[in-house]
Structure 1
Amino acid sequence: MSTHARAPRPTRTPVQQAALLVGVVFLLVGVAGFIPGITTHYDTMEFAAHHSEAELLGLFQVSVLHNLVHLAFGVAGLALSRTPSGAGLYLFAGGAIYLVLWLYGMVIDHDSAANFVPLNTADNWLHLALGLGMIALAALLTRGRRTARTTA
């Protein structure tokens, strides 16, 4: 009888775990946006336009494009969480993108063609929280790594 030694599972750094978790949440949100019941007024969903009245959880305005963006952010999170540097990049750059999206949502007229994603007030404030949260995670969870590299 032979015994096979298992290779130890690679351990994820905290920044990798955070990026993985954020990526999974984005995937779940992207999928949920396509589920009637979780998304109210599902029958009014459009590919991309402010005319879509579909709302995730009855609160966040969504469209097919909006859901696809969430899915893409989720896939990016899973892929980039494989390395500490990729995970930090995902959290920082993703947070910056969400801050730009928050600003965009704050300055456009929500009833105009410029609101093609589409966005509503609830989306805007969620995007602010996501942007700040992702950047904070990147900063806090990579701080020790930068210090360790510069002192080595």
Structure 2
Amino acid sequence: MSKRDRDRLAAAGGTAPVVQIAAMVIGAVFLVFGVAGFIPGITSDYDELSWAGHRSGALLLGVFAVSILHNLVHLAFGVAGLVFARSAATAKTYLLWGGAGYALLWLYGLAIDHHGPLNFVPVNSADNWLHLGLAVTMIASGVLLGRLAIQPDRP
């Protein structure tokens, strides 16, 4: 079955290539955590949630620094995952470029002072480890699962 046929099959309700499922799952997880960042109790110190910056004292799950901007980025990234999961090629693109973006965010988190004005996202050490894990997972998924989805037909 060709890549085009697999994409059509997935669009018609058939079995989607696993790269599409991966993008959909990752997108859904980002949506869940984007919403969770706005829920008191799941986000501790919710009264300290600010638009952006290192002074936002809210912590998702009591661990990850969040702000309104940070939560909105998670929501947007989640929607993008669901939209890009519509075809194997765009799902692979989402995973690779999203992973690259998280690798850059990891480097950014390592390079800045977490208590300084450059920490506008905001990030902390827990976020840095999470961003590294996301980068590795997304890039590996895009490469390995994307390769499975676009293999040439075999006799």
Fold conserved between structures, TM > 0.5? yes
2: CA distance, partners of 1:121 / 1:9: 41
Aligned residue pairs: how many?
Answer: 144
Determine the structure 1 residue equivalent to 2:7.
none
Determine the structure 2 residue equivalent to 1:95.
99
2: CA distance, partners of 1:58 / 1:123: 12
Determine the structure 2 residue equivalent to 1:3.
none
User: Is the radius of gyration larger for structure 1 or structure 2?
Assistant: 1
- CA RMSD for the aligned pairs? 1.5
Flag the structure with more relative contact order, 1 or 2, with Cα contacts below 8 A and sequence separation at least 6. Answer: 2
Structure 2: stretches of 5+ with no match in the other structure:
1-11
> How high is the sequence identity, in percent, across the aligned residues?
56
- TM-score after normalising by structure 2: 0.89
Deviation digits for residues 94-123 of structure 1 (CA, Å, limit 9, x no counterpart):
000000000000000111110000000000
Indicate the SS of the match to 2:107.
Answer: helix
- TM-score after normalising by structure 1: 0.91
Structure 1: stretches of 5+ with no match in the other structure:
1-7
Determine the structure 1 residue equivalent to 2:8.
none
Aligned letter for 1:107? A
- C-alpha deviation, 1:143, in angstroms: 1.5
- C-alpha deviation, 1:146, in angstroms: 4.2
Residues 1:13 and 2:14 aligned together? no
Match of 1:42 among 40, 46, 51: 46
Aligned letter for 2:119? N
* 1:26-65 correspondence runs (5 A): 26-65=30-69
Indicate the SS of the match to 1:148.
Answer: coil
- C-alpha deviation, 1:145, in angstroms: 3.8
